[in-house]
Amino acid sequence: MFRSNIPSSEIAPKEQYLSRRDFIKAAGFLGAGALLAACAPKSLTEAAPVSVLADVPNSLEDITNYNNYYEFSYDKAAVAKLAKDFPTRPWSVEVTGMINKPKTYDIEDLLKQFPSEERIYRLRCVEAWSMVIPWMGFPLAQLLAAAEPTSAAKYVRFVAVHDPENMPLQSSASFDWPYQEGLRLDEAMNDLTLLATGLYGEPLPNQSGAPLRLVVPWKYGFKSIKGIVKIELTDTKPSTLWNTASPREYGFYSNVNPNVSHPRWSQASERRIGELARRPTLLFNGYEKEVAHLYDGMDLATNY
């Protein structure tokens, strides 16, 4: 049984977090003021009061209408509409590489073999915004254990779907498509690392990465690749989309670290979606006790 590491003050019953929008309305945190908060002067955001519901999960509306998914659009508010009819069936996921039991799963068989559970995780994006999301999914470690990695395997490489016909921006040359990501094997085997299949008790919506995405809650959100079609065990550090596109800005590890600024902005604070006030960014996004040991002896500024 998974025990969430988030304090009870940050967890709310489903009936409460599903009605969070009504609470925030009453508190005056929605409407034009909230939309303007992202570009408000620093003095305004620092002075804004913190909502008493600041640490409960975001509403379903919050997290399904503000999405990074560059295969569809650079506009976070446009993704939901553009992804609405994206086909997620049929879908298969290939598990391959340095393993004893390679297998290609039909998504329905995968969901049956690895039942989902709910985990409430923070998600922190490099643009200095964050959410708290009730994910449904199963530990990646379960899938990897079933695949039986060989002793030579050191990394896990993830590849997303390539479908330019249904993903408009994949027709552009702005990135080296398809989206690819990677983790060290010990990071992938950590109990916090989730293969997400849904949220709020429902199947994963298209704009959130349906039908299968990665969630690595102590890393910046771009590490949590969406629309996964391939998982490969390898002895070589994988190339990743953002590190390839801009290695000075996006390192392989991409751990949430308030002490390491992005070259174009500070990462020392963040704004929770739906709030006015900013809050200090937590090292490893607040999961330091669970994951800091993975980086013992490493310079986190050099290995950013």
Beta bridge partners of 244: none
pLDDT tens digit string along 130-164? 999 999 999 999 999 999 999 999 999 999 999 99
pLDDT (0 to 100) of residue 30: 34
CATH code of the domain containing 240: 3.90.420.10
As a whole number of angstroms, the distance between CA 125 and CA 211 comes to 21
pLDDT (0 to 100) of residue 5: 45
Upstream peptide bond of 41 is cis (omega within 30 degrees of 0): no
Radius of gyration over alpha carbons of the chain, in Å?
19
pLDDT (0 to 100) of residue 36: 30
Query: Is 18 part of any domain?
Result: no
CB atoms within 10 A of CB 267: 18
Is the Cβ–Cβ distance between 102 and 95 less than 8 Å?
yes
Query: Is 112 part of any domain?
Result: yes
Domain count, the chain: 1
pLDDT tens digit string along 72-125? 999 999 999 999 999 999 999 999 999 999 999 999 999 999 999 999 999 999
Give the burial string for 42-68 (b: 16+ CB within 10 Å, else e): eeebeebeebebbbbbbbbebbbbbbb
Query: Is 301 part of any domain?
Result: no
Is the Cβ–Cβ distance between 1 and 42 less than 8 Å?
no
pLDDT (0 to 100) of residue 234: 98
Query: Is 224 part of any domain?
Result: yes
Q: Please, is 115 exposed, middle or buried when counting C-beta atoms within 10 Å of its C-beta (0-12, 13-18, 19+)?
A: exposed
pLDDT (0 to 100) of residue 56: 87
Say which residue the tokens 């900013």 belong to. 278
- Which residues, 6+ apart, have CB-to-CB distance to 288 below 8 Å? 282
As a whole number of angstroms, the distance between CA 237 and CA 216 comes to 17
Query: Is 111 part of any domain?
Result: yes
Query: Is 6 part of any domain?
Result: no
Q: Please identify every stretch of the chain with a pLDDT value under 50, giving residue numbers as ranges.
A: 1-14, 16-17, 19-54
Alpha helix positions (H), the chain: 14-18, 20-27, 32-37, 42-47, 60-64, 79-83, 107-113, 140-147, 185-189, 241-245, 288-291
Say which residue the tokens 């709310």 belong to. 12
Query: Is 39 part of any domain?
Result: yes
Q: Please, is 11 exposed, middle or buried when counting C-beta atoms within 10 Å of its C-beta (0-12, 13-18, 19+)?
A: middle
As a whole number of angstroms, the distance between CA 303 and CA 187 comes to 14
Q: Please, is 290 exposed, middle or buried when counting C-beta atoms within 10 Å of its C-beta (0-12, 13-18, 19+)?
A: middle
Query: Is 149 part of any domain?
Result: yes
Residue-range definition of the domain harbouring residue 209: 23-295
Is the Cβ–Cβ distance between 256 and 190 less than 8 Å?
no
pTM to 2 decimals?
A: 0.84
